[in-house]
Amino acid sequence: MLKDIIIKNNIELVLPFLFGYDFLIPIMKELLKEEFSAFKYVYGSPSCEWNSGRFPIISMDCSKLDYVDTYFKQLRDINLTPTLTFNNISINEQQLKDEFCNNLLDIAYENNCYFIVSSDELFNHIKQSYKDAVLICSVIKSLAAYAENTNFDETGFYNEMLDKYDIIVLRPEYVIDNIDNIDKLIKDISRVEVLANQSCAYNCKYHKEHYKLIYERINNIISGEQFINILDHMCPKNDESYKSVQMTNELFEKAINKGIKKIKIQGRNLNLNVLFNDLYNYIIDNTKWTKDEIRNKANSILPGFLNENFSYTTS
């Protein structure tokens, strides 16, 4: 199973717990005592001008940046690297000057956080302030490039990004389609991150529009009803020809054997039931823990946390 491959090959897990599902951290730490050392990065962002990509699920008052500073330090104390998702792909000059975002950047850098970005303007802005900041090329950047031109040189694009960024996130479809020789195509496979559970359709042409739409909803440019109506007519997940991009354990084993060291689980906008089931399927030892046992253990750590369907409850 994937869990065994992760431990054997010293794989680093990138998990969607920052600024939202952080209450999963102590539960996962208890459930995965041996494997918890594989948890390296937790990513997310508060709602802000530089954020897009997914709806933030905030568990603190992020306007009080001293709280955020303490939060980052607590994560660092348990060897987790907070990774800020600054995924607004169309940042303008005025947004680059946003006071809250720049203050958040300062605090994050002081706490040795990493930064996921998809905008060239934001990349340059961060590098001008902190030339040694660790920057990750968001999958959004490659998804948008693919959506705009299906004939673009994707391998060349990734190798060019490796000259700029510390880490790059590949489109899952690229990994799947090139799994047998991916180590020969990408010049430094050790700095590649692979997304396990992409939720959109295979080779979706609307990724860039999806993220712009989410940004507009986050910032109340459009209403929730407008968001749903537009998404329903846009997303190919609603087509009969829909094909999933979920990575299988077999594919991951091949990728790891090719030298990939970083696996990312998405889920900042997922129902907790769906996210926890993805975590269970990919990294929890289901030969050791049944779902009932996990639910009972989770509730002993955080009473009322999981119901019989792994759904979050507040009771």
| pLDDT attached to residue 293 | 75
d(CA 296, CA 288) in angstroms, rounded, equals: 14
The pLDDT value given to residue 122? 97
The overall pTM is greater than 0.85: no
Between the alpha carbon of residue 108 and those of residues 23, 59, 70, the distances in Å are: 20, 17, 11
The per-residue pLDDT string of the chain (315 residues; one tens digit each, 9 = 90 and over) reads: 466 777 778 888 899 888 877 878 877 777 777 667 788 899 998 878 898 644 444 544 566 788 889 989 989 988 899 999 998 888 899 999 999 999 999 999 999 999 999 999 999 999 999 999 999 999 888 877 777 776 889 999 999 999 999 999 998 889 999 999 999 999 999 999 998 877 666 666 666 666 666 656 555 676 766 666 656 655 655 555 555 677 787 888 899 899 999 999 887 655 677 777 788 777 776 667 777 777 677 667 666 555 444 433 332
pLDDT recorded at residue 306: 53
Tokens representing 80 are 């987790």
3-state SS assignment for residue 144 = helix
Write the DSSP assignment of 88-113 as a string of letters: -TT--HHHHT-HHHHHHHHHHHHTT-
Tokens of 102: 């720049």
CA angle 105, 108, 110 (to 5 degrees): 110
Show Cβ contacts of residue 172 under 8 Å, excluding neighbours closer than 6 positions.
194, 195, 198, 245, 247
Name the CATH topology of 2-208+242-301: TIM Barrel (3.20.20)
Spans of all domains in the chain = 2-208+242-301
- Could you tell me the sign of the dihedral formed by the alpha carbons of 237, 15, 170, 83, in that order? positive
For residue 60, what are its two tokens? 């603190």
pLDDT of residue 215: 58
Alpha helices in the chain (DSSP H): 2-8, 24-31, 65-77, 93-96, 99-110, 120-129, 139-148, 154-164, 172-177, 182-185, 207-218, 224-234, 249-257, 272-282, 291-301
Rounded-to-integer distance, Cα 135 and Cα 133, Å: 6
- pLDDT the model gives residue 142: 84
To the nearest 10°, report the CA torsion of 38, 170, 106, 219: -110
* Unique residue bearing structure tokens 């209450």: 23
CB 140 within 8 A of CB 211: yes
Q: Residue 208: its pLDDT value, please?
A: 60
Q: Report the chain's C-alpha Rg in angstroms.
A: 19
Q: How many CA atoms lie within 13 A of 198 on its CB side?
A: 27
* Residue whose entry in the numeric block shows the structure tokens 């009969």: 240
Give the 3-state secondary structure of residue 240: coil
- Bridge-based pairing of strands 245-246 and 192-195 is unpaired
Measured N-to-C along each axis, helices 224-234 and 207-218 cross at an angle, to the nearest 10 degrees, of 170
